[in-house]
Chain A
């Protein structure tokens, strides 16, 4: 019981931490790709 609580808490921390850095990064990359498309238009 305790170990399943610990592992779900760790999973939540991982999701939060990766989301915290991943979301802005993906947004920035998407913006850049959209702008880069002009090169091939």
Chain B
């Protein structure tokens, strides 16, 4: 009896969370699973909108100005970094636990951690202690992010064996879309609780925590796992395994011993590095490359547009990958991305805002597409049994890219400016470096072959 079996057969007040209680009965529609996954991903996608709190948190004491005792932006910036670090760490550490216990237990726990992070942060803001906010949003919230991000992935793949890319793309699209909801909602709630002598950040954290907890638990209530040997009506699994789609499973920790895992790790890391640095610096870059032509308001619109394509790309590219294959999809990302990054300095030199925007919306669609296509890539390589846990381990590539990308963009820009390069051209070198990184990604993807059969799990 495995740990999972022991967990599944226990009884008690929390037994409704177990995998055994989550098996779908006859008549359950598999199309209820994507909204369940979206309940989670739309909430944790708030992380992309955390910057909305930055400015209000720098004026909690001074109210209309930053007082000397107020938190500095650099201190506040660490909240996001800690959260992203714990996202990767928790996804890697708890991946096996998520896989064994089933999606409902993981979603329930993700809701507790994510909302708990908001509640603890509210206390931190109330007491004006940044360390409590680090612990709340950073550590607890970050764990909620990691658990929530991977919790529906393998379930979706099992429900949609005929279109795994589309299914996971739909859920991971929610992570990109969460910021669209969180951003205006947070601004509204902060305003609602602010007075001339108080900024309503703590109240906003409390309100958002309650809303996210309810939303995520609705997702946990809806989600089901398919009954053993279930398959969609009219779907016949291919009898002969395709070249790059295995019919076998690889044990989670054995996957780490395969070159395929590390090649895909680099594929994801390089694709994310290229996109994440731009996303963080998009507003300033558009204004500096087109001085006087792109206003701060227009730059904010540009950031919104990038986020929109980041979200749409998750669904569109992941769905396309079901038809052209994962490896070819990543070839598209790296080939098109390389060309577009190399073209960006030229768009600046001819002063074409439209071409500049066009380049970046396509680049960002592929950035999102990279996140959304990778679970199906892992499923093709390592099978469905431990895909969620393996995906959790792979998420560490995102954490790494989250450090690399912004550092590359920011530091190279500063170095260029310090050496007398005009601001409008300060990003050119970075763009060529990004194009170079994508070439390396192309090569890594090229070397991805089917996993050697010695890594396949045997029936015993």
Residues on A facing B (Cβ under 8 Å): 6, 10, 13-14, 17-18, 20-22, 24-25, 27-29, 31-33, 35-41
Contact of B29 among A14, A22, A24, A37 (CB under 8 A): A14
Q: Is the CB of B35 within 8 A of A28?
A: no
* Nearest CB of chain A from residue B287's CB, rounded to whole Å: 11
How many contacts between A and B, using CB within 8 angstroms?
A: 78
Q: A17-B222, A21-B39, A28-B181 are in contact. Are A36 and B302 (CB under 8 A)?
A: yes
A residues near B345, Cβ cutoff 8 Å? none
Asked whether B301 lies within 8 Å of A38 as measured between CB atoms, the reply is yes
Interface of B (DSSP majority class)? helix
With a cutoff of 8 Å between Cβ atoms, the chain A residues found around residue B36 in the complex are 17
Chain B contacts to A: CB under 8 angstroms: 27-29, 31-32, 35-36, 38-39, 42, 174, 177, 179-184, 218, 222, 294-295, 297-302, 304-305, 307-308, 311, 353, 357
> Smallest Cβ distance from B103 to chain A, in angstroms?
15
A13-B32, A17-B32, A28-B180 are known contacts. Are A35 and B301 too (CB-CB below 8 A)? Answer: yes
Contact of B218 (CB < 8 Å), options: A13, A18, A20, A29: A20
B38 to A21, Cβ gap below 8 A? yes
Pairs A-B, 7 closest by C-beta atoms? A28-B180, A39-B301, A28-B181, A17-B35, A36-B301, A21-B38, A38-B301
Check A39 against B181 for contact (C-beta < 8 Å). no
Asked if B42 and A29 make an inter-chain contact with CB atoms under 8 angstroms apart, the answer reads: no
B35 touches A39 (CB 8 A): no
The verdict on A28 contacting B184 (CB below 8 Å), with A21-B174, A36-B308, A39-B298 known, is: yes
- Residues of B near A10 (CB, < 8 A) are 27-29
A to B CB contacts below 8 Å, 17 in the list: A10-B29, A13-B29, A14-B29, A18-B35, A21-B35, A21-B174, A24-B181, A25-B42, A28-B184, A29-B180, A29-B311, A32-B304, A33-B304, A36-B302, A36-B308, A39-B294, A39-B298
Q: Which of B28, B294, B305, B357 has the most CB of A within 10 A?
A: B305
Please give me the residue from chain A that is nearest to B40 by CB atom: A21
- Given A21-B39, A36-B301, A14-B32 contact (CB < 8 Å): yes
Give the docked Cα–Cα distance between A37 and B295 (Å). Answer: 12
* Structural contact, A32 and B35, CB atoms closer than 8 A: no
- Bound state CA distance, A13 and B302, in angstroms? 37
With the chains together, A29 CA to B29 CA distance in Å?
27
List chain A residues, Cβ under 8 A from B302.
Answer: 36, 39
A21 to B222, CA, bound (A): 12
Query: Nearest chain B CB to A33's CB is how many angstroms away?
Result: 7
Evaluate whether A25 and B301 lie within 8 angstroms (CB atoms) in the complex, with A6-B27, A17-B36, A39-B294 already known.
Answer: no
Query: Most chain-A CB neighbours within 10 Å: which of B177, B181, B222, B311?
Result: B181
